[in-house]
Structure formats: structure tokens, C-alpha cells
């Protein structure tokens, strides 16, 4: 029996070694193209998802089913091919498979199969989200997405962080970070006819519940027991934002570490981003070449520069001075105390610094209650990591570990301490300095691949009016 190997393995195989023994191999996959040669044989391009590139198969006219099947193969048909790997005379590929047998598993009627050779827009492909990863671009995106996810786990595991699954359904709303989705088992039709009020004792959790917007607060409880932890899971925003940068459902990684101050946190974020980006360049080289050539020219160099350059640090206050004196005209006004816009962030990282930049010490008034108040009483130990090409990619902070300061900050923001009793407890019992940050997975995939729309870097995007598949 022939050994089943992937297209990736077949393409990387040392053909001379194999041709010596003439070992028979089996490849299983889908036809991308068929080209019949005048010499009475056909070339098939086969892909099985293991790599961007296809394996070229030479199917001789002597095959039993050459006329009846092989010559009818079209894009999308599934096949099992046995044969021997040989050195390829063609440019751009090391090996090709000389077929002894081509078995057809499934046909794909060219009249109805949507993915014909003609190019489709990414918008159109979203309607076929169940098929679109059969295209070069979406397949490459999802391999890169996988690699980033693997690197996230590997990086934190190797740095002594434990993976924690913070809850998705929650009765608390973190920091009021955004609009939330409701979760309920109440029958909405019956409820609508009830005349009200809502009887939550009939609901599954006996109270109003929501989809989480962040696992940070729960992660803090684990950081103050297990030391170093990270979450990596889905988070939700019910914001009516129909943009190329927003999803209602997205994945976020949030490390949280006890005894880390802001400097430790900045170093962690820098090491983390560099590791993830290096892995992608190293392990998804072919996919990244594709993005560099077809999606965004210069992408590889841009990612490399993030890896190579030490991240610069700058306070928010200094950044305001730079922006005020730089002579650029911005759409949004610059004023100490207001949030920076993407145009400001991009000017700072792209033009002023020319590389990754960590902004720190933001005004307390524009940041959530849990960020640590600095001695100046005006700023907090916040940090945003900015990178050329996109602006902010990571946001984080040292957390307020002092009980009284936290309580004062919560009161100032009219937060009910009763709802946060367990969060406050962490400052009551063995409190420690601790820090963390958040990275949106889709934003990172979008950055690395250069894909213009965030809906094209997630398997099945959830956006206003759209929950297909």
C-alpha cells in the first residue's frame, strides 16, 4: 500500500531520494486546474489545504479512466492519486507526482460550483464562507490565523503563564467596555405578549445575563492565585459598527501577571509581538510571500521591522507635545485630556518614530477605573502599543492594587461596589501589583496579512444583520 502524504510533504520531498527507491505515495485532495497536453496526458494541480502551493500531477493517457474521468476533472473535484514523486522539470516546483491511478471521489459540476477560475471579490466570497477557504487567499489567511493562535499558546506556556477559560456568559459588564448582547432562555414571543414586567426568576440564570466583553477582571482573580495567566477566547460587542475593522464576535488574548509593573508589562508585550510575528514569517513563509505580492506590497518588510526594532517608549503627555508642534494638520484636534485618534497614532509610530511605539501614562479621565493611578493624580499606568500601518494593536495597564484608591475611583465613576465585591476582595486579601494587556486576534491577523476587511480574517464573521452559517 502506498503511504498517504500531504501535498505539503509531497512538495517538500527530496525527489532524488524517492526516485531512487521509486516509492509509491498517495495524495488526496481537490483539483484546482486541469490542463491537457498534446502529448496525450494531463497536468492536474492538486491542493489539500496543507499549503498554499499545489502539487503538480502528471496523469498519463494510459490510465484506465483517462478518457472517462480524468479528462472530465474540473476545479473542486476530489481525487485520490497514487504514483511516484519525481523531480520536476518545470520551474517553481521541486517535485511532481507521476500518477499510476487517479480515483475520483466527488465531482463538482462546473455549471453550479461557484469557485471557477474567474476571480471573485472578497465581498462575493463572504456569501460562500463555507467554500471560500478553498481559494488561495482565504486558505492562506486561515493558516496564518492558526499559526498566530499556536504561537500565542506556545509563547505564554513557555513563559510560565497558565491558560484560563474565563466565562462567556456573565452577569457583570466589566468596565462598561461596550454594548452587550443579552443571553436568555425566556421565550421572546411569549414575553412580548406578556405585558411585562420581565420575570427573571423564569430565566435560566435567574437574572439578566450577557456575553462577555473582556475576561480581564476574572483573569485578575487567577493572576492573584496562579501568578501568571492568560485568557484566549471569544468576546463580544453589540455595537452597530459596519466598518472594515469591527466584528460583533472576535477572539482576544489577555495575559495578566502578578508582580508585573508597567515596565514588565511593556517588555512582555514587546517580546510577545516579536515572537508571534517571527513565527509567522518563519513558519508561514509561502503564505506571507503571497500576501506580500498579492495583497499588500512591502508587508513582509513591515512585519520584519516590528521584529527587529526595539519598541520606543513615550508618555502621552510627550506625545501631545510632539503632535502639537509637528506642523501636520489633523482632522481631529489635539488637546491634553482627549483620546488620540488613529491619525495621531499613525503619525507618531510611522513618521515621528518610524517603528513600534509604546505610549504610556494616559490621562486618568479617559481610561477605565481599574488602571493604576500615578503619583501625579492625573495619569494612570496605561500603555498602548502602536505599530506602523495600523496604529494601536495592544492596550494594557498596570492595575490599581490599592484598595482605597480603587474604591475612590469606582465611586467617581458611579460604579456599584456591590457588583464588584469579588474584584475588590483581591485588594483586601494579599493584594499585589499586577498588570496585563489585550490583543484582538483578528486585528493581529489583519495586520500580518494586510487583508483590508476584518470579515475576511475570521471563519464566519458576525456583524450587524449577519449571522450566516
First-residue to last-residue Cα distance in the chain = 39
Query: Restricting to residues 73-112, which ones interact with its own copies according to CB under 8 A?
Result: 76-78, 80, 105-109, 112
423 is a site residue for its own copies (CB under 8 A): yes
Residue 37 C-alpha cell reads as 497536453
Given 53, 60, 208, 395, the residue binding its own copies (CB under 8 A):
208
Near its own copies by CB under 8 A: residue from 24, 49, 58, 328:
49
Judged by CB under 8 A, does residue 257 bind its own copies? no
Nearest C-alpha neighbor of 356 from the set 304, 278, 280, 296: 304
Tell me which residues in 382-401 interact with its own copies (CB under 8 A): 401
**Considering only residues 437-466, where is the footprint of its own copies by CB under 8 A?**
441, 458-460, 462, 464-466
Pairing of strands 24-36, 78-87: antiparallel
Spatial CB neighbours of 17, under 8 Å, sequence gap ≥ 6: none
CB of 457 to its own copies, least distance (A): 11
Q: Which helix (H) or strand (E) holds 425?
A: helix 421-428
Long-range pairs of 171-174 with CB within 8 A, sequence gap ≥ 24: 171/205, 171/207, 171/208, 171/209, 171/210, 172/217, 172/419, 172/420, 173/210, 173/213, 174/212, 174/213, 174/214, 174/216, 174/217
CB of 294 to its own copies, least distance (A): 19
Residue 171 CB coordination number (10 Å)? 13
Q: Min. distance of Cβ 228 from its own copies in angstroms? A: 8
Applying the rule CB under 8 A, the residues between 289 and 328 that interact with its own copies are none
In the list 63, 211, 364, 371, the residue contacting its own copies (rule: CB under 8 A) is 211
- φ, ψ at 52 (rounded to 5°): -65, -45
Nearer to its own copies, 224 or 302 (CB): 224
Site size toward its own copies (CB under 8 A) is 110
Helical spans, DSSP H, in 238-372: 262-283, 285-290, 299-308, 316-325, 342-346
Q: Which of residues 322-361 bind its own copies (CB under 8 A)?
A: none
* Candidate residues 330, 332, 336, 469; the one interacting with its own copies per rule CB under 8 A: 469
Q: Which of residues 224-253 bind its own copies (CB under 8 A)?
A: 225-228, 233-234, 236, 238, 240, 248-249, 251
Nearest distance, CB of residue 238 and its own copies, angstroms: 5
Q: Please list, in sequence order, all residues whose beta carbon lies within 8 angstroms of the beta carbon of residue 435, skipping any fewer than 6 positions away.
A: 256, 257, 260, 261, 262, 264, 265, 381, 396, 397, 398, 399
Nearest distance from C-beta of residue 262 to its own copies, angstroms: 16
Q: How far is the CB of 45 from its own copies (least distance, A)?
A: 14
Give the residue, chosen from 72, 124, 165, 267, that forms a contact with its own copies under the rule CB under 8 A: 165
Residue from the set 12, 22, 169, 412 that interacts with its own copies by CB under 8 A: 169
* 8 A C-beta contact, residue 370 and residue 399: yes
Single out the segment in contact with its own copies by CB under 8 A; choices: 214-222, 265-273, 292-300, 307-315: 214-222
Amino acid at each position: 500500500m502506498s503511504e498517504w502524504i500531504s501535498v505539503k510533504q509531497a512538495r517538500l520531498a527530496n525527489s532524488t531520494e524517492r526516485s531512487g527507491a521509486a516509492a509509491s505515495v498517495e495524495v488526496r485532495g481537490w483539483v484546482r486546474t486541469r490542463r491537457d497536453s498534446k502529448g496525450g496526458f494531463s497536468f492536474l494541480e492538486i491542493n489539500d489545504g496543507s499549503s498554499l502551493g499545489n502539487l503538480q500531477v502528471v496523469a498519463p493517457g494510459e490510465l484506465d479512466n483517462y478518457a472517462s474521468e480524468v479528462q472530465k476533472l474540473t476545479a473542486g473535484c476530489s481525487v485520490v492519486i497514487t504514483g511516484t514523486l519525481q523531480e520536476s522539470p518545470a520551474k517553481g516546483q521541486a517535485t511532481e507526482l507521476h500518477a499510476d491511478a487517479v480515483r475520483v471521489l466527488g465531482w463538482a459540476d462546473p455549471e453550479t460550483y461557484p469557485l471557477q477560475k474567474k476571480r471573485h471579490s472578497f465581498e462575493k466570497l463572504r456569501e460562500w464562507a463555507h467554500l471560500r477557504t478553498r481559494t488561495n487567499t482565504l486558505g492562506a489567511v486561515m493558516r496564518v490565523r492558526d499559526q498566530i493562535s499556536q504561537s500565542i499558546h506556545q509563547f505564554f506556556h513557555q513563559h510560565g503563564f497558565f491558560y484560563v477559560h474565563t466565562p462567556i456568559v456573565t452577569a457583570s459588564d466589566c468596565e462598561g467596555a461596550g454594548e452587550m448582547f443579552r443571553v436568555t432562555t425566556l421565550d421572546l414571543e411569549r414575553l412580548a405578549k406578556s405585558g411585562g414586567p420581565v420575570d427573571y426568576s423564569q430565566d435560566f440564570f435567574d437574572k439578566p445575563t450577557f456575553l462577555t466583553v473582556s475576561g480581564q477582571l476574572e483573569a485578575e482573580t487567577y493572576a492573584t492565585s496562579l501568578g501568571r495567566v492568560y485568557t484566549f477566547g471569544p468576546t463580544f460587542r453589540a455595537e452597530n459598527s459596519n466598518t472594515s475593522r469591527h466584528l460583533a464576535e472576535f477572539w482576544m488574548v489577555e495575559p495578566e501577571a502578578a508582580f508585573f509593573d508597567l515596565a514588565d508589562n511593556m517588555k512582555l508585550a514587546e517580546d510577545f509581538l516579536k515572537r508571534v510575528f517571527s513565527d509567522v514569517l518563519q513558519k508561514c513563509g509561502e503564505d506571507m510571500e503571497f500576501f506580500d505580492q498579492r495583497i499588500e506590497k512591502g508587508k513582509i518588510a513591515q512585519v520584519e521591522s516590528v521584529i527587529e526594532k526595539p519598541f520606543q517608549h513615550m508618555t502621552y503627555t510627550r506625545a501631545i507635545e510632539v503632535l502639537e508642534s509637528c506642523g501636520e494638520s489633523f482632522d481631529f484636534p489635539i488637546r491634553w485630556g482627549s483620546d488620540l485618534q488613529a491619525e495621531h497614532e499613525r503619525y507618531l509610530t510611522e513618521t515621528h518614530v518610524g517603528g513600534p511605539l509604546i505610549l504610556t501614562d494616559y490621562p486618568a479621565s479617559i481610561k477605565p477605573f481599574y488602571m493604576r493611578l500615578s503619583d501625579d493624580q492625573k495619569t494612570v499606568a496605561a500603555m498602548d502599543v502602536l505599530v506602523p500601518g495600523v496604529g494601536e494593536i495592544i492596550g494594557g495597564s498596570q492595575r490599581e492594587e490599592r484598595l482605597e484608591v480603587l474604591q475612590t475611583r469606582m465611586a467617581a465613576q458611579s460604579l456599584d461596589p456591590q457588583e464588584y465585591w469579588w474584584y475588590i476582595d483581591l485588594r483586601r486579601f494579599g493584594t499585589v501589583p499586577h498588570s496585563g494587556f489585550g490583543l484582538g486576534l483578528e486585528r493581529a491577523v489583519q495586520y500580518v496579512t494586510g487583508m483590508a476587511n476584518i470579515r475576511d480574517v475570521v471563519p464566519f464573521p458576525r456583524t450587524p444583520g449577519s449571522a450566516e452559517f
